[in-house]
Amino acid sequence: MKEGIFKHHDEKGMQAFENISKELAFGKKAFKFCSKLIKNHLEISKLFFLKKLDSLTDKDLNFFWYENKDIAPHLIILTLSDSLATSEDKKFLEEITKFILKIQDYYFNVYLKEVIDEPLLSGKEIMEILNLKPSPKIGEIKDKLLQAQLEGTVKTKEQAINFIKSL
C-alpha cells in the first residue's frame, strides 16, 4: 500500500460524493446526512487511537457527541464494518468494540446528564449584557461560550454571564 493513501480521504470522499449526489439527484436532506457521515466517518477511530495513547479526554468525547449525536449510530456501524473489513486482528476488533460500548455509555451516563450543549445565552442576551450591537463578534462570543459549556467549565446561566464578561 502506498504511504499516505488514506491521507485526507474523508475530504476527497466528500468531493467525490458532491459530484455523485448531483448526478443521482439526492435531495437536500439526504445530501446533508451523507455529507456529514462521510466527513466524520473516522471520528470514532480517532478517539480510539487517542485512548490507546492515553490522551483521550472528556472534552474530546463531549465535542464528538455534540458534533455527531444525530449520526452516531451510523458512525458506529461504519466504524465496526470498516474494522471488520480491514483487520483480522481479533484483539483489535475486541478493543474497538469495547471502546464503542464505552463511548456509548459515556453518552448516556455523562454527556446527557452533565453537559449543557444548548446555548445558555442567546445572541440578544449577550448583546444586552455586554452592551454590544449586532456584529460577527456576537457569534464569536457565542462560540466561545458553547466551547466552555462543552468543556464543562460553564454549566449555569450565571456562570455563562460571568464567562462572557471575562472575555
pLDDT at 7 (0 to 100): 67
Torsion of CA 96, 97, 103, 106, to 10 degrees: -140
Local structure of residue 115 (DSSP, 8 states): -
pLDDT at 20 (0 to 100): 85
User: What's the rounded Cα separation, in Å, for the pair 134 and 126?
Assistant: 10
User: For the segment 35-60, what is each residue's pLDDT rounded down to a tens digit?
Assistant: 899 989 999 999 999 999 999 999 99
The structural domains of the chain, with segments of one domain joined by +, span 8-40, 44-115, 123-166
Number of C-beta neighbours around residue 128 at 10 A:
11
For 77-104, b where at least 16 C-beta lie within 10 A, e where not — what string?
Answer: ebbeeebeeeeeeeeeeeebeebbeebe
3-state helix, strand, coil in the chain (%, to 5): 75, 0, 25
User: For the segment 123-142, what is each residue's pLDDT rounded down to a tens digit?
Assistant: 999 999 999 999 999 999 99
pLDDT at 22 (0 to 100): 79
pTM of the model: 0.84
For residue 126, what is its C-alpha cell?
A: 449577550
pLDDT at 3 (0 to 100): 46
pLDDT at 29 (0 to 100): 92
Tens digit of pLDDT per residue, the chain (167 long)? 344 545 677 778 878 888 888 788 888 899 899 989 998 999 999 999 999 999 999 999 999 999 999 999 999 999 999 999 999 999 999 999 999 999 999 999 999 999 999 999 999 999 999 999 999 999 999 999 999 999 999 999 999 999 999 99
User: What's the rounded Cα separation, in Å, for the pair 157 and 108?
Assistant: 23
